[in-house]
Structure 1
Amino acid sequence: MPILIKTYRTVTSVLEPAVIGLLYWRQRQGREDRTRLGERRGYPSRQRPKGHLIWVHGASIGETLSLLPVVERLTQRGLSVVVTSGTRTSAALIARRLPPGAVHQFVPVDVPRYIRRFLDHWRPDLALVAESEIWPNTVFALDERHIPLVMVNGRMSDRSFQRWQKLPRIIGTLLERFALCLAQTSDDAVRLARLGAPRVLVSGNLKFDSPPPPADPRVVAHLSGLIAGRPVWLAASTHPGEENAIIAVHRALAQRHPHLLTIIAPRHPHRGPEVAALAERAGLRASQRSNGIHPDRATDVYVADTVGEMGLFFRLSPIVLMGGTLAPIGGHNPIEPAKLGAAILHGPHVHSATEIYEAIGKARGALMVKDSASLARAVSELLGNAALTRDMARAAADAVQALGGAVDRTMQSIEPFIVQAKLGARR
């Protein structure tokens, strides 16, 4: 075992009291659920169901939601599933959408005692982790108990690959303990194999198979009625720095498009007051969804700062700018608005979802903008040309549909492990 991994395992054990302090600090910051803080230390809040159980983990919202079709297939096979994630937002969303036979827990922090406590209670027959979640203590604990570990929807960006190449023994030691890595793309597969993963297959991106986020039809109809006749566009999953550009676009277009309504959904809903204040300082009238206020004819900027309602806002707007693309974040997943009939706009920073943006762009369902000026021109053109907006939306939806099938390929690949679980066998 490399010395750095040994050091990591020792340090995380010795500094356990500091980890507890960090958790309480995060709780005071609103980043941890006070009533479920014990789960982060491996204490269960639910009973383990009888029979065979699969542990499925996604770090946050996107990863967790992409796993839902796999979770549903597993429960349909008669297996119980414990789904873990690490953020309050993902927990709130996933709790509403899990099928019968699956429960949610917060993932324990990667401290040896916390992981042991978690595994002692849940006793999984198989562990599936999404994308690039590689926590050393968790990997070794599963390996020591002979619990197969499979990476699903695996990603290894070029940036991460370059970093890991500087630590080849560490990443190789960890990846060799994965029974299987299912990569999103051939590029991801090559990088994982070069870093030491012994068995890698390409299964595609599970997010293409994820169902679009739900919305209450009555709420959709009500808000659609309130904004009927108004030009509307949505900036989704925005980050600091992007909202200023979006507000500038609204101001630039307001005279050309009377009664324009700009909806801003910050990536982190707790930033709602901050975003509303930015709009107010720019001389615009803003209201926040979290305050229970609906947009009226005088509302310029509507801040969608609630959890679990993106399906509503994607259905309200025919034009969607994806956040994290104007700021150097890497771009958030445009699949959901594409499935719900929106024309997609994005900035130049899309390295976290290159394949998706390239596919939609090649089909002419998405348009790249570089700054607030080019964004204003694109929004204005789409607002003034309904036929172009419809054509882009249709192209985006078709491109996403054509890239589906990852769930079927994933289930076929993990079938041997499911058979082992049902037979009560271990690797």
Structure 2
Amino acid sequence: MRAPPLYHLYVAVTVLLAPFAAWAQIRKLRKQGVPALRAHETMGHASQPRSGSGQLIWFHAASVGESLSVLALIAKMGEVLPRAQFLITSGTPTSAKLVAERIPPRTVHQFAPLDARGPLSRFLHHWRPDAAIFVESELWPRMLRMTYERETPMALVNARLSAKSRAAWARQPALAAYVLDVFVLILTQNDEMAQAMVDMHAPADRVARGTNLKALSAPLPTDPAVLAQIRAALKGRRLWVAASTHPGEEEIVLAAHARLRASHPDLALVLVPRHPNRSAEVAALIAAAGLSFATRSKDELPRDDEAVYLADTLGELGNWYALTDVVFLGGSLRPIGGHNPFEVVQAGAAVISGPHVASFAETYDNMRAKGAAGFVEDAAGLAKAVADFYDKPAARRAALEAAESFVQDRSNALDDLARRLIHILKLAEPSR
């Protein structure tokens, strides 16, 4: 396929802007505490060697959510391809940190090279990927075309573009077709996005509905020492968790907990705001609700009569999920789109959610069908859902069994996806 004029214009612009973009990106990473050696990965200078002469499979993601969503897929592909190496690239220090904490075997992380010839040439020459898998909306024209020109098989998974991005690409159909032609397979999150990709001139015979990778994610990490410490402090008290809450939701959660305490006076709430920097704001809301609380970031532990434990730290969500059988998942009582319910059921808990879950609609539809998720709209509904969970043992067992069944289904889906990618990207190892 011939490159359209707009692609040539893009290439010319990147030549002019690359030095300034490189300076700005390296400076930004350094200010965020990234060592100089690693910050220069954005210029294509690798900080680690390519291991061996075997297959190397490159995954490219944008930031935290996308990066973490592929770790389980990498681990599964690694089981099928025991001699393969994996590379994951992303652009933010937070994603690098979290990936490092959960990185699968035989996998390294690097910061993504800038979308310019020099950085990309150095990157591709060093890593020599045997296949490349791009995640969600990472459609950098030069990165895609230069990788393609090396005859590297490429796939796009979890494809998802916002309405604004789709409209922008629709205004440049020749460029969209040129960029999307590099992929041997485009897997979307749902049928609507599959049609959107075809409308953007992706080759229709290479587009298919896949599954939401975030609904196949690896279990959140836990710290046994922290769990033992919190359990000892709680002394057998029952608790529920309200996780990833946003402004306007904590008030509803706290009102529900006040109702619950009237009938279940020993019940504790672990409240986990989505953004820990809102800790002081959320603490003020707890105090205004007349509820006693302890704060995780102050190294406090819940006392015998403490109503709320404010878990205002990063990277500990897995601990809080492991402490309970029922989790209210925020971002859903307000039109935010919801958060990942699969992480909850993987931890062995059932999910309660508000109605606004567009970002995980397919996942929630499947969970609802199995009975692994319940939905509420206000404080009264939330209080009743939590109370029913603890007061009705048969319903509780059914919800937890449904959650376990859903996790098994997702595990099977992950295995199918891994084998499909290995086949289409021609990665199967030769038999001996």
Q: TM-score range by the shorter chain?
A: 0.7 to 0.9
**Residues 26 and 40 of structure 2 are in contact (CA less than 8 Å); yes or no, is this contact kept in structure 1?**
no
1:45 partner letter: S
2:44 partner letter: G
2:234 partner letter: I
Establish whether residue 358 from structure 1 lines up as the match of residue 365 from structure 2.
yes
Establish whether residue 37 from structure 1 lines up as the match of residue 39 from structure 2.
yes
Establish whether residue 191 from structure 1 lines up as the match of residue 196 from structure 2.
yes
Structure 1 residues 143 and 208: CA distance shift in structure 2, 3 A: same
C-alpha displacement at 1:330, in angstroms? 1.3
C-alpha displacement at 1:140, in angstroms? 2.4
**Residues 77 and 422 of structure 2 are in contact (CA less than 8 Å); yes or no, is this contact kept in structure 1?**
no
- Cα offsets for 1:156-215 (capped at 9, x unmatched): 577865665455444333211212213344444343333322212444344454442232
Aligned to 1:106: 111
Structure 1 residues 280 and 117: CA distance shift in structure 2, 3 A: farther
Aligned to 1:151: 156
Aligned to 2:49: 47
Counting only pairs closer than 5 Å after superposition, residues 25-424 of structure 1 correspond to structure 2 as 28=31, 33=34, 36-51=38-53, 52-76=55-79, 77=81, 78-155=83-160, 164-198=169-203, 199-416=206-423, 419=426
**Residues 42 and 115 of structure 1 are in contact (CA less than 8 Å); yes or no, is this contact kept in structure 2?**
yes
Structure 1 residues 391 and 27: CA distance shift in structure 2, 3 A: farther
Rounded Cα–Cα distance in structure 2 between residues aligned with 1:19 and 1:286: 47
- Cα offsets for 1:284-334 (capped at 9, x unmatched): 444333343322224333233334322221111222111222232211110
Rounded Cα–Cα distance in structure 2 between residues aligned with 1:10 and 1:238: 45
C-alpha displacement at 1:56, in angstroms? 1.1
Structure 1 residues 420 and 391: CA distance shift in structure 2, 3 A: closer
2:49 partner letter: Q
C-alpha displacement at 1:12, in angstroms? 4.6
- Cα offsets for 1:370-421 (capped at 9, x unmatched): 2344333433433443443332222233234234433333333333565469
SS at match of 1:299: coil
Structure 1 residues 127 and 251: CA distance shift in structure 2, 3 A: same
Counting only pairs closer than 5 Å after superposition, residues 1-40 of structure 1 correspond to structure 2 as 1-2=3-4, 5-16=7-18, 17=20, 20-21=23-24, 24=27, 28=31, 33=34, 36-40=38-42
Range moving further from structure 2, 316-325 or 149-158 = 149-158
Rounded Cα–Cα distance in structure 2 between residues aligned with 1:34 and 1:323: 35
C-alpha displacement at 1:360, in angstroms? 0.9
C-alpha displacement at 1:354, in angstroms? 0.8
Range moving further from structure 2, 362-371 or 68-77 = 68-77
SS at match of 1:104: strand
2:337 partner letter: G
Rounded Cα–Cα distance in structure 1 between residues aligned with 2:35 and 2:274: 22
**Structure 1 runs not aligned, ≥5 long:** none
Rounded Cα–Cα distance in structure 2 between residues aligned with 1:188 and 1:195: 10
1:154 partner letter: A
Rounded Cα–Cα distance in structure 1 between residues aligned with 2:25 and 2:285: 31
Scaled by the length of structure 1, the TM-score of the pair is: 0.84
Structure 1 residues 341 and 304: CA distance shift in structure 2, 3 A: same
Rounded Cα–Cα distance in structure 1 between residues aligned with 2:117 and 2:385: 52
Range moving further from structure 2, 114-123 or 323-332 = 114-123
SS at match of 1:254: helix
Structure 1 residues 105 and 289: CA distance shift in structure 2, 3 A: farther
SS at match of 1:241: coil
2:141 partner letter: P
SS at match of 1:121: helix
Rounded Cα–Cα distance in structure 2 between residues aligned with 1:40 and 1:287: 42
Structure 1 residues 259 and 108: CA distance shift in structure 2, 3 A: farther
Rounded Cα–Cα distance in structure 2 between residues aligned with 1:276 and 1:88: 28
Rounded Cα–Cα distance in structure 1 between residues aligned with 2:8 and 2:162: 26
2:244 partner letter: S
Rounded Cα–Cα distance in structure 2 between residues aligned with 1:246 and 1:26: 37
Structure 1 residues 26 and 275: CA distance shift in structure 2, 3 A: farther
Scaled by the length of structure 2, the TM-score of the pair is: 0.83
Rounded Cα–Cα distance in structure 2 between residues aligned with 1:352 and 1:392: 23
2:357 partner letter: V
1:55 partner letter: W
Range moving further from structure 2, 347-356 or 403-412 = 403-412
SS at match of 1:405: helix
- Cα offsets for 1:96-130 (capped at 9, x unmatched): 33233211123334455443443233222211112
Root-mean-square deviation (Å): 3.3
**Structure 2 runs not aligned, ≥5 long:** none
Rounded Cα–Cα distance in structure 1 between residues aligned with 2:39 and 2:417: 32
**Residues 157 and 188 of structure 1 are in contact (CA less than 8 Å); yes or no, is this contact kept in structure 2?**
no
**Residues 93 and 307 of structure 1 are in contact (CA less than 8 Å); yes or no, is this contact kept in structure 2?**
no
Question: How much identity, in percent, do the aligned residues show?
Answer: 40
Rounded Cα–Cα distance in structure 1 between residues aligned with 2:427 and 2:261: 62
Structure 1 residues 19 and 304: CA distance shift in structure 2, 3 A: farther
Rounded Cα–Cα distance in structure 1 between residues aligned with 2:275 and 2:111: 18
